[in-house]
């Protein structure tokens, strides 16, 4: 006996969020353990430049975009507001 697939409007489909779905913008703030961790100050094709909170250095640190996005996806870092592409 074959089961029919339900195709109701009441059935909701959820998609998984991936690396290509999240985009950080200059000024976005990242939080770790409930405290401000860093702010996005720039980006290039492959990097985000993050100014760490409380750092005495005025230069932002470069991080690979995938590394930052992975930290967000796995909950190690949180954003105030998430932007999707």
For 31, residues 6+ apart whose C-beta sits below 8 A from its C-beta are 37, 77, 78, 79, 80
With tokens 């100050």, the residue in question is 41
Q: How many domains does the chain have?
A: 1
> Nearest 5 degrees, angle CA 41-CA 45-CA 47?
50
pTM of the full structure = 0.72
CATH of the domain at 66: 2.30.30
For 65, residues 6+ apart whose C-beta sits below 8 A from its C-beta are 24, 43, 46, 47, 48
For 54, residues 6+ apart whose C-beta sits below 8 A from its C-beta are none
Tens digits of residue pLDDT in 24-64: 999 999 999 999 999 999 999 999 999 998 888 889 999 99
Residue 33 lies in a domain: yes
Residues spanned by the domain of 30: 21-79
Report whether pLDDT(9) > 60.
no
């Amino acid at each position: 006996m074959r089961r029919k697939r339900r195709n109701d409007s009441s059935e909701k489909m959820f998609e998984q969020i991936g690396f290509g779905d999240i985009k950080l913008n200059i000024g976005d703030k990242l939080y770790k353990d409930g405290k401000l961790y860093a702010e996005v100050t720039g980006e290039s094709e492959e990097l985000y430049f993050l100014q760490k909170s409380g750092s005495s250095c005025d230069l932002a640190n470069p991080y690979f975009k995938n590394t930052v996005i992975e930290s967000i996806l796995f909950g190690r870092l949180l954003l105030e507001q998430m932007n999707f592409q």
